[in-house]
Structure 1
Amino acid sequence: MLMHQCVGLDAYNTMPLRRAVHAVYECCFSVPLAADLARTRPYLDRESLYRHADELLFALSEEAIDDILQAHPDIGRRPGSAKSAAEQCAVYAECPELMGELATAAKRYVQHFGFGFVMYVTGHCAADVLAAINDRLHHDRETERKVVRHELSRINRSRLERMLGPEGGYHNW
């Protein structure tokens, strides 16, 4: 859960630098990205912020991406993931079996690529994630690193949107 939620773009633009870095770090798990994004304020609109966040993410070194990946939970290990899988995937009568398959596939992924699987999962159930892991295991390492950056970009955008909240934000900041 983000500590900085629904702050609005105007409030983000005027936050003290440390607080702005902290707010963005909660979204992206990268100090360099968060610091650079906060230092280049003010943003005229949300799209400018999102585009600049993507530019910074895609400019990061592979080592910095690995650091970001360390902050993401392992697939199937996130609190409540088994419950949500059971709710979303009614087709699968035995959710524990599905979660076991997911854990096994995630281990194969780590063994194959050397880093954990990451995916923007909003709107996807455990079966979708399992299919994505199995599909992405066919990638070479270079292709998968590009896919990982794209997925991180989608996750960052979703979290930045949540951080900013509705247009205008709320007046509690």
Structure 2
Amino acid sequence: MTSRSTPGLTWFNSAADAEARAALHEVCAARGWGSALLAQRPYGSADALFAASDEATAALTDEGLDEAMAGHPPIGRPKPGDPTSSREQRGMAGASEVLKAEMLELNLEYQDKFGHVFLICATGRSAEEMRDAVRHRIDNTPQQEREIVRRELAKINRLRLTRLAEEGPTV
């Protein structure tokens, strides 16, 4: 997506603040991130929206990053009735019961160590790739992990914003 206007971007630029904020909350649960994007409307292109998202993600405080992570279900357990988390975690759908159980155990170990959900841009990743990622990342320091989480969140936000800019809100 580049500079052309799309129906979703047109909607986003002209929507009432409350409607646009609700749509952004579906992308990222951090209120500061959503406020930063709202403050810069209207966007001349999806690329401008993505750049604003990247800036807002980089600027999240620790509290804002925690708030964003709280909006994501654990890998292997998408939110019931949420097509976005089911679509993003599709790679876990065909995993064996043994792999699903291992992923649950690793998720719990990760959460015990870091105090938050294991966040990874799961789109296009297999269950094995996600398992290997959590195995690798569990040995990180909390600071290393927060920086990785911030980068993964930026990827997730871009994917979700692409859908919003192309199609409009899902709320």
Whether TM exceeds 0.5 here: the answer is: yes
TM superposition shift of 1:24:
1.2
Higher Rg of the two aligned structures = 1
Deviations 1:33-75 (A, max 9, x none): 1122112111111111111111111111101111111111122
Structure-2 change in CA distance of 1:109 and 1:44 (3 Å)? same
TM superposition shift of 1:83:
8.0
Q: Which amino acid counterpart does residue 103 of structure 2 have in structure 1?
A: L
TM-score, normalized by length of structure 2?
0.82
TM superposition shift of 1:84:
5.1
What is aligned with 1:63? Answer: 63
Q: Which amino acid counterpart does residue 99 of structure 1 have in structure 2?
A: K
Structure 1 stretches of 4+ moved >4 Å: 79-84
Q: Quote the sequence identity (%).
A: 31
Deviations 1:113-143 (A, max 9, x none): 1211011111111111100001111211111
CA distance in 2, matches of 1:86, 1:60: 32
Structure-2 change in CA distance of 1:136 and 1:83 (3 Å)? closer
TM superposition shift of 1:9:
1.5
What is aligned with 2:159? Answer: 158
- More relative contact order, 1 or 2 (CA 8 Å, 6+ apart): 1
Asked if 1:85 is matched to 2:86, the reply is no
CA distance in 1, matches of 2:16, 2:92: 40
Structure-2 change in CA distance of 1:61 and 1:23 (3 Å)? same
Structure-2 change in CA distance of 1:74 and 1:86 (3 Å)? closer
Please list every run of 5 or more consecutive structure 2 residues that lacks an aligned counterpart in the other structure: 1-5, 81-85
What is aligned with 2:3? Answer: none
Please list every run of 5 or more consecutive structure 1 residues that lacks an aligned counterpart in the other structure: 1-5, 90-94
CA distance in 2, matches of 1:143, 1:124: 22
TM-score, normalized by length of structure 1?
0.82
- Alpha carbons 1:7, 1:163 under 8 Å: kept: no
RMSD of the alignment, in Å? 2.2
CA distance in 2, matches of 1:83, 1:17: 32
Count of residues in correspondence between the two structures? 156
